[in-house]
């Protein structure tokens, strides 16, 4: 607040206090600040909701001989009848072609889980798309590059 000395009928020494008038509408910066606060709260809520997805993750994915080795880490409770979906795409010059696709039921124990998937891949470059589903929920998903040598 600002203080201003005023002269009332030639009498000096009186002080008046000027207060800003109440605004009916918020300033633009105050409205934006509220919008950003709401967006931040929504983002934190989404992150908290996605925290369950962080309990399952993929580890190393390798190919040797005639099999794909998939490591899945489960930090949560054991799960029966989860689904491991594997799709392998052969990567060419400017195209991709599906080389293999399989979905199978798996049991996830707490800790590291290792799965062997039989697949015959020719030498070349591939992308592996791996997903773990529990019920209708996608728990983990990853895309990995694979190089198969002769």
Q: For the chain, how many residues are written?
A: 150
Looking at residue 93, its pLDDT comes to 85
| Whole-number Å distance between alpha carbons of 22 and 41 | 29
- List of the chain residues with pLDDT < 70: 1-29, 31-32, 47-54
**Phi and psi angles of residue 111, each rounded to the nearest 5 degrees, phi first:** 110, -150
| Mean residue pLDDT across the chain | 83
Tokens of 129: 């798309």
Question: What predicted TM-score, i.e. pTM, was given to this entire model?
Answer: 0.63
Task: State CA 129 to chain mean position distance.
Answer: 17
Residue 56's Cβ-side half-sphere holds a number of Cα atoms within 13 Å equal to: 24
Phi and psi angles of residue 82, each rounded to the nearest 5 degrees, phi first: -75, 165
CB 54 within 8 A of CB 38: no
- Provide the greatest CA pair distance for the chain: 104
Q: How far apart are CA 73 and CA 111, in angstroms?
A: 6
pLDDT at 141: 95
Residue 53: other Cβ atoms inside 10 A? 14
Place of tokens 């996830």: 108
Domains of the chain: 55-148 (2.60.40.10)
């Amino acid at each position: 607040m600002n203080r201003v000395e005023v002269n009332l009928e030639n009498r000096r020494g009186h002080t008046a206090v000027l207060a800003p008038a109440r605004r009916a509408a918020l300033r633009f910066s105050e409205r934006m600040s509220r919008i950003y606060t709401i967006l931040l709260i929504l983002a934190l809520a989404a992150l908290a909701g996605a925290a369950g997805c962080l309990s399952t993750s993929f580890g190393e994915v390798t190919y040797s001989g005639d099999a794909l080795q998939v490591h899945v880490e489960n930090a949560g409770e054991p799960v029966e009848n989860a689904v491991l979906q594997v799709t392998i795409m052969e990567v060419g010059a400017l195209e991709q072609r599906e080389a293999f696709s399989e979905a199978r039921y798996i049991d996830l124990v707490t800790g590291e889980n290792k799965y062997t998937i039989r697949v015959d891949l020719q030498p070349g470059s591939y992308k592996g798309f791996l997903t773990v589903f529990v019920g209708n929920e996608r728990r983990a998903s990853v895309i990995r590059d694979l190089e198969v040598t002769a």
